[in-house]
Amino acid sequence: MSSPFQNEAFSAPDSRVKNVSDIILRAMAAEQPKLIADVGCGTGETLRYLVESMPGATGLGVDISHPNIAVAKTATESSPKKEQLRFIQGDFWALPSGQYDLIVSDSVFHLIPLPTVQMFAKVAENLSPGGVLVMTIPYACPYNTLLWMARRVLRAIKCKFTDQMILSIAKMLHGGKYSDSSLRERIIYMYHVPQAYLSPELHRLLTCDLGLKLFFVELLPHASLGQAKHKIVGYRKSAGK
């Protein structure tokens, strides 16, 4: 599967990694997942955090981006759990089915250019019986609708000037918090309009069609005007599946 993100690097801010990981750890406090998959693992920070915090857990990170996987593999060499961590470059179709006690994905599924039904059917198939899917994903709300309208306009006129305009605005708003390289990483997202987002239709697909049960849902902090508002949600696969 080709992707505009294949040759791009993306590193999540430390505060984002910790916030998302801590929510997952709280939600999974009574669980003991043995095998964790991180779909769209980026440079691997979230998966390392989870595996290092969950006794007995091993993790597999998969990401379409060559640069991301290279950074993840290098960073893992200093982890006390490096033997329990593995990273592969590719898309999530490479993951074997029915094996993962926990699948996590931070702001990725809405970026994958696949039909929503096909994509989440594969995710559900990859879960072990009783396994949990935890994802952060944009949700249906007026703010996101307006943001996606603006992104459609930007995508229609995309050029070096719009790239520079986006970067200049980002520096003005966040230059004291993020480096120029980190802000440049995010330019590509300002042209993206999601195919999948959390909505009553997606909830019905996950629960009625795919047999998952809502486990938890929380709002995530909204960090930027150019960022879609997200929720973090967990769905559990039936133990009998």
The percent of residues in the chain predicted with pLDDT above 90, rounded, is: 73
Q: What is the pLDDT of residue 5?
A: 67
Q: What is the pLDDT of residue 1?
A: 52
Q: What is the pLDDT of residue 11?
A: 74
Outline where 91-190 has alpha helix (H): 116-126, 142-156, 160-174, 180-185
Of the pLDDT bands very low, low, confident and very high (cuts 50, 70, 90), residue 183 is: confident
Q: What is the pLDDT of residue 7?
A: 66
Q: If you ran DSSP here, which 8-state letter would residue 214 be given?
A: E
Q: Please determine, for residue 151, whether its predicted confidence score (pLDDT) is greater than 90.
A: yes
Q: What is the pLDDT of residue 230?
A: 97
Please choose, from the candidates 121, 49, 15, the residue with its C-alpha nearest in 3D space to the C-alpha of residue 61.
Answer: 49
pLDDT higher at 86 or 183: 86
Q: What is the pLDDT of residue 120?
A: 96
The C-alpha atoms of residue 72 and residue 87 are separated, in whole angstroms, by 7
CA distances to 20, 90, 164, 191, 193 from 153, rounded to whole Å, are 31, 30, 16, 8, 10
Q: What is the pLDDT of residue 160?
A: 94
Q: Please determine, for residue 215, whether its predicted confidence score (pLDDT) is greater than 80.
A: yes
Of the pLDDT bands very low, low, confident and very high (cuts 50, 70, 90), residue 185 is: confident
C-alpha dihedral (94, 92, 127, 138), degrees to nearest 10: 180
Of the pLDDT bands very low, low, confident and very high (cuts 50, 70, 90), residue 114 is: confident
Over residues 117-128, the pLDDT tens digits come to: 999 999 999 999
Q: Please determine, for residue 2, whether its predicted confidence score (pLDDT) is greater than 60.
A: no
Q: What is the pLDDT of residue 77?
A: 95
Q: What is the pLDDT of residue 173?
A: 83
Mean pLDDT, the chain, as a whole number? Answer: 91
Q: What is the pLDDT of residue 44?
A: 95
By DSSP bridging, strand 127-138 and strand 212-219 are unpaired
Q: Please determine, for residue 172, whether its predicted confidence score (pLDDT) is greater than 80.
A: yes
